[in-house]
Amino acid sequence: MPVDKIKNSLKDENINEADLAAFINELDPFEIARRLNEFSTEDKVRIFHLLNDDSKRQVLLYETDIDSRMEIQETLDKNYLANLLDEMAEDEATDIIQELSDETQEEILSKMEKQDAEVIKDLIQYGEETAGGLMTPEFNKVSWNQPAAEIFTKVRQESSSDTQPYFYVVDNQDKLLGFFKLRDLLNAPASASAKEFIRPETPKVDINDPCEKVANVMSQEHLSILPVVDEENVIHGVVTFDDVIRVMEDIASEDIYTMVGTAKVDPFAKKTGSKIIARAPWLFTTFIGGIISAWVLGAFDSTLTEFAAIILFIPFVIGLAGNVGIQGATVIVRGLATGDIQEDNIAHIVKNEILVGILNGTIFGVLCGTLIGLTGEVLLKADPLLGVVVGTGIILAVSLASLVGSLTPILFINLDIDPAISTGPIITVANDILGLAVYLVTAKIILSAF
């Protein structure tokens, strides 16, 4: 998108407002939303008002980053904002309203149409990343005794490009009995009641199920829409594929950014000061880790002075251990996120990851130790015993790193902490300290013994 061209047009005093509006409206509002963070607050608001259609403004508001959205909303009249949200899909409007303060939420909802406000209030009570938070209350609900001819007539009357291909059959208490597809309706006898041609099994999700589970059910059942029910099997809405994909992308991005110790959301849209605040705590963790590592090195000062050659392999040992630890942690965290790791297989997977780390440590420890033992005297003027020290240090450090990397995400889960946090600076720093300590202790024991 020509961001520079938009910026130049906004600054050009010779261009009239009509031509500027025409230029802005020729662009895709979705693309503008993705790059809106590159503009000043004043220009963000100006671009929003230059759009000539509320539907475009809704797209811009919903698709842009949270900081830009808040900056625009602060300048809008509350009545206009309420009307704008009123015309949006309830699930999208809920996502935006949830970001506002409780006081502002109440004010906006009080200005919206009563029916829409009640729906949004119901959706707000569910977590944003749960089936209840993702669902839309608009779906094809059919009574169990409704005849096929009547259903088909209604479909023809309401036919549009947004018509969902799934129909959900309920009893008199709105409890889900089953579902059928449009083609099932077309093949059914005109006099047959809905209950007679529903499918025998109905994939569904609970209202409190996390987004990951919703995505897994969709993938397993090859469905783009799933009904959302409560513990009494009453249907409250449906979750669509596009909403799940959007949230899953956000979750994946959040995990990746968390792993490296940066902002959880919209890192590209954050201002420099916000980025510093978001990253500084993680860098402070590394800072503390560096101090502890320096203290460990100081504790083995006499060993390092007497056998200086072991210093040369410190980066190699802790680097190898760190990589193995991160690999194990990443596999566990990703498996937990996708649902591939469940209670019945988590022990097996963790044991397997630890075993893989130990075997990799043994392979590289033996390989490196042998190579140093054979060439160390010639190349480094060092005792061949150095190969035993480095090889054993690698095996022990990598094995410990594998253990820490695989078990830490599980520990974080038990503490109700996002396991993605553990794969970032925390495991990196922990592995550096432990790897260094294990290597130096190994060196002191072996070299002192011989």
Q: What is the DSSP string of 366-386?
A: HHHHHHHHHHHHHHT---THH
Given this model, what pLDDT does residue 226 score?
Answer: 92
User: Which residue carries 């600076």 as its tokens?
Assistant: 425
Q: Are strands 176-181 and 235-240 parallel, antiparallel or unpaired?
A: unpaired
**Would you identify the CATH topology of the domain 3-127?**
MgtE N-terminal fold (1.25.60)
Q: Are strands 205-206 and 176-181 parallel, antiparallel or unpaired?
A: unpaired
Given this model, what pLDDT does residue 278 score?
Answer: 63
User: Which residue carries 């695989």 as its tokens?
Assistant: 406
The C-alpha atoms of residue 299 and residue 360 are separated, in whole angstroms, by 29
The C-alpha atoms of residue 247 and residue 122 are separated, in whole angstroms, by 19
User: Which residue carries 């099997």 as its tokens?
Assistant: 233
β-bridge partners, 226: 239
The C-alpha atoms of residue 286 and residue 442 are separated, in whole angstroms, by 24
Query: Domain residues of the chain, as ranges?
Result: 3-127, 141-249, 272-449
β-bridge partners, 178: 169
Burial category of 407 from C-beta neighbours within 10 Å (exposed 0-12, middle 13-18, buried 19 and up): middle
Q: With contact defined as beta carbons under 8 Å apart, do 167 and 151 qualify?
A: yes
Name the residue among 82, 73, 81, 75 with its Cα closest to residue 111. 82
Q: What is the mean pLDDT of each run of 10 residues along the chain (450 residues)?
A: 78 84 89 88 92 91 89 92 89 87 89 86 80 87 91 77 78 92 88 88 90 85 90 91 78 63 55 67 80 88 78 87 86 74 82 90 91 79 82 92 88 77 75 90 84
**Would you identify the CATH topology of the domain 272-449?**
Tetracycline Repressor; domain 2 (1.10.357)
The C-alpha atoms of residue 403 and residue 356 are separated, in whole angstroms, by 10
Three-class SS of 274-316: HHHHHHHHHHHHHHHHHHHHHHHHHHCHHHHHHCHHHHHHHHH
- Which amino acid, residue 408? T
**Would you identify the CATH topology of the domain 141-249?**
CBS-domain (3.10.580)
Given this model, what pLDDT does residue 339 score?
Answer: 67
- CA 129-130-134 angle, 5° bins: 80
pTM: 0.59
DSSP assignment, residue 260? T
